[in-house]
Amino acid sequence: MRPIYIVCLSLTLGLGFTPALTSAKEEPLVEQQPNPDSEIAAHVTNPKTDAATNVPEIVKLLREKVKYVFVIFQENRAFDQMFGTFPGAHGFFSQPEDKTPGFTQYIQSDKDGSFIPVQPFRIGQDQDAWDIDDMSHSHVGLLGKMHIVNGTAQMDDYAFVEEGLHYTTPLPTLQAKQFGYLTMAYIDGNTIPFLWYYASRFTLFDNHFQTIVGPSSPDNVALIAGQSGTTQWVLHPSDALTAPGGNGVPTEGDGDPLWGSSKDPLGTEHVPNTGSKTPQINLTFASLPLTLAGNTIASVTANDLDPAIDLADVQEDLTYLSTLTQGAVNWRWYEEGFTFTGYTGAPDVGGLGDYIAHHNAPQYFGYVSANTQLNQNLQSYKQFFADITAQNLGTGGVFYIKGGFQNQDGLVPLNKANNPTVLADFVGDDDHEGYSDSQISEALVADVINAIAKSSYWGQCAIIISWDDSEGTYDHVPPTLIASDPFGGQLSRGPRVPLVVISPFAQTHVVSHEIGDTNSIIKFINLVFNLPALEKLPDEFNAQQAGKQIYNQDNLGPQDDPESKLDGDLTSAFSINRLKGHDVLPASYVEIPDSVITALPHWGTDPLKTVLHITPTDAKRKNNPIPTDFNPRPSSQPNYPN
């Protein structure tokens, strides 16, 4: 029978603990993947001799060579779900099953209530694995699934918690049981061949975690701030969450931004009008849009329409930034469907048309949304391609790209039944389960990368592909507990998400075990553009010190200082020899032909064998069978034919 668990949301955290930047095993920071194909083999690097380990040298070379950083930030995927059988990565079968946290979980039978064991099982094209239902990834839901005992996540209650969220009857319904099963399903390169292609040709990170335990908004905010509002909570306790996952700070839920909502203090369409009646409160802590302004910060913030509110918490930061020698760095946030006008208010539905407001991190900050200069950095996904074509990205900068509810290539999702429900419901391209199709989503990634590869920016770029949260799908690696929220629940970190670094200067066919979260992306940006760390800005630093005194927590706020041992800086992805000009990777090495992008399924029915030449780690073992009553879409397609 199923072990008895006590799921407790009031946690005792080992705060102040500083882990190594690699996993607990004694292993190299970067390791080669096995068995490169002939094209990759010509460019394979040896991380033992080519790793970028000399800090002054790597900083100098990266600042000389990398002028453009592109961040493709997709939605809601766990590492094990996508790469749990990727060769060389820490996955399901990297250790014995009895040493893999949560490998065997339990759900209840819909027949007699008995406990049924369930283990990870692979689904693929025959199960239409491109289109699967949405699972709970709320703050409270994730805490339950991670099952934290005495400060350690057991990672063993995904299936049981998910099942329990879908019924109130004495016995589980069939649909509830199917949702429990779904948390344990995983895919591989036959479902997402483009993503496995990039991971095989460049650097895959297998110890990258979502920063905040929760859904999309907190980790999108953390992408540009390294936190979701802990320093604002310290400075303004009255701004704290009204309940776990509420719309106070630190942000743990998916409330739309204040700006553009029905409570927008300015009441004008200076950003898209969401019409939300329950928005997130204004975010007032420091983020990259401030540090990227450099010493032009005074002239930039002079355009704020509500400075007394927006800038009150960063006054010392602004004074400090104005003294720097570093000038402004270009940045833009390109998101599908974004436009400044034309929305008619559809409150709290998660998005308008193809635009999803709660994924747009800068819109949460008044000093961006209510600034007539800074808010021009928020643009549409289509504008990204216009700017690439017109070579309108300036002499360098940081550029974020996000999809949305609708696919831009006009692709029609494939499914074996050609079911109209799937065709209608799974047309998103940001990888979010419940509305996005994996084929369409990886096509978006390939379109963006091809556009960069075909431009003059390829020879000076680093491209980071990552995902905001883990969706509530099972991952076996327990995240380190770093910070708790106002209710004593674990705030940071959450489960693993994938991250891939692509660059003409990247190491090839390697896995990096470097530990990090969105702060690692910020640390890399800081390093390349010589920006001050957010956590060392005066107001942020003072708030963190207050957090130590008031709440006895060492890590309330961003962790992007170069000296921080909590997060790596992604430099392990780079080859010293390539940065010095040897075997710099040509654009042809990364490009996927446009004709392949628009032909579904991508690379046919068995791309692992016919194109990628990758053998997943479950190929030589007896695979766990797919449950006979499994359904990848129990809610949106309850009668899916197995």
State pLDDT tens for residues 596-624: 999 999 999 999 999 999 999 998 777 78
Contact 609, 37 (CB under 8 A): no
> What is the pLDDT, as a whole number, of residue 2?
42
- Does residue 634 register a pLDDT over 70? yes
> Could you give the residue ranges of the DSSP H alpha helices within 397-471?
420-425, 438-453
Is the per-residue pLDDT at 481 higher than 90? Answer: yes
Strand-pair partners of 352: 355
**Number of Cβ atoms within 10 Å of the Cβ of 328:** 15
- For residue 54, what are the CA distances in angstroms to 1, 64, 226, 284, 482? 53, 15, 25, 37, 28
Asked if residues 161 and 143 have their Cβ atoms less than 8 Å apart, the reply is: no
Give the span between the Cα atoms of 166 and 30, in whole angstroms. 42
Say what the pLDDT of residue 26 is: 74
In sequence order, which ranges of 251-396 are alpha helices (DSSP H)? 288-291, 297-301, 307-310, 315-322, 366-369, 381-389
pLDDT reading at 244 higher than 80: no
CA distance 75 to 336: 13
Specify whether the CB–CB gap between 305 and 371 falls below 8 A.
yes
Q: Which domains does the chain have, with CATH numbers?
A: 65-82+186-603 (3.40.720.10)
Residues in the chain: 642
Q: Does the pLDDT value for residue 396 go beyond 70?
A: yes
Q: What is the dihedral of CA 17, 19, 23, 27, to 10 degrees?
A: -140
Q: What pLDDT does residue 416 have?
A: 63
User: In percent, how much of the chain has pLDDT > 90?
Assistant: 80
Cβ-based neighbours of 278, under 8 Å, separated by 6 or more: 247, 255, 347, 348
The torsion region of residue 18 among left (phi > 0), alpha (psi -120 to 50) and beta comes to beta
pLDDT band at 419 (very low <50, low <70, confident <90, very high): low
Q: What is the pLDDT of residue 54?
A: 76
Provide mean pLDDT across the span 196-218: 98
Instruction: Give the per-residue pLDDT at 110.
Output: 93
d(CA 318, CA 311): 9
Structure tokens at 18: 């500083």
Look at residue 405 in the predicted model and tell me its pLDDT: 87
Closest CA to 325 of 181, 573, 531: 531
Which residues, at least 6 apart from 39, have a Cβ–Cβ distance to it below 8 Å?
A: 589
- Look-up of token digits 């957090």: 547
Has residue 8 got a pLDDT over 50?
Answer: no
* Amino acid identity for residue 250 in this structure: P
CB 245 within 8 A of CB 253: yes
Q: Which helix (H) or strand (E) holds 164?
A: helix 158-164
Neighbouring residues of 414: CB distance < 8 A, sequence distance ≥ 6: 128, 130, 439, 600, 601
Q: What mean pLDDT is predicted for residues 264-286? A: 88
- Pick from 573, 427, 588, 566: which is nearest to 510 by CA? 573
Section 287-315 average pLDDT: 97
Asked if residues 211 and 507 have their Cβ atoms less than 8 Å apart, the reply is: no
Average the pLDDT over each of 27-31, 417-421, 473-477 and give the range with the smallest value. Answer: 417-421
Collapsing DSSP to helix, strand or coil, 72 comes out as strand
b vs e for 135-174, b when ≥16 Cβ sit within 10 Å of the residue's Cβ? bbbbbbbbbbbbbbeeeebebbbbbbbbbbbbbeeeebee
Q: Which residues contact 167 (CB under 8 A, 6 or more apart)?
A: 173, 175, 176
pLDDT at 14 over 70: no
pLDDT band at 51 (very low <50, low <70, confident <90, very high): confident
Asked if residues 66 and 579 have their Cβ atoms less than 8 Å apart, the reply is: no
Nearest-CA neighbor of 184 among 158, 161, 204? Answer: 158
- What is the structure's pLDDT at 86? 98
Average pLDDT over residues 558-566: 93
The confidence score (pLDDT) of residue 456 equals: 97
Q: Quote the CA–CA distance of 281 and 262 in Å, as a whole number.
A: 12
Four-residue CA torsion sign, 521, 187, 101, 216: positive
The residue ranges of DSSP E strands in 354-497, in sequence order, are 378-380, 397-402, 461-467, 483-484, 490-492
Determine the pLDDT at residue 25: 55
Distance CA 30, CA 438 (A): 28
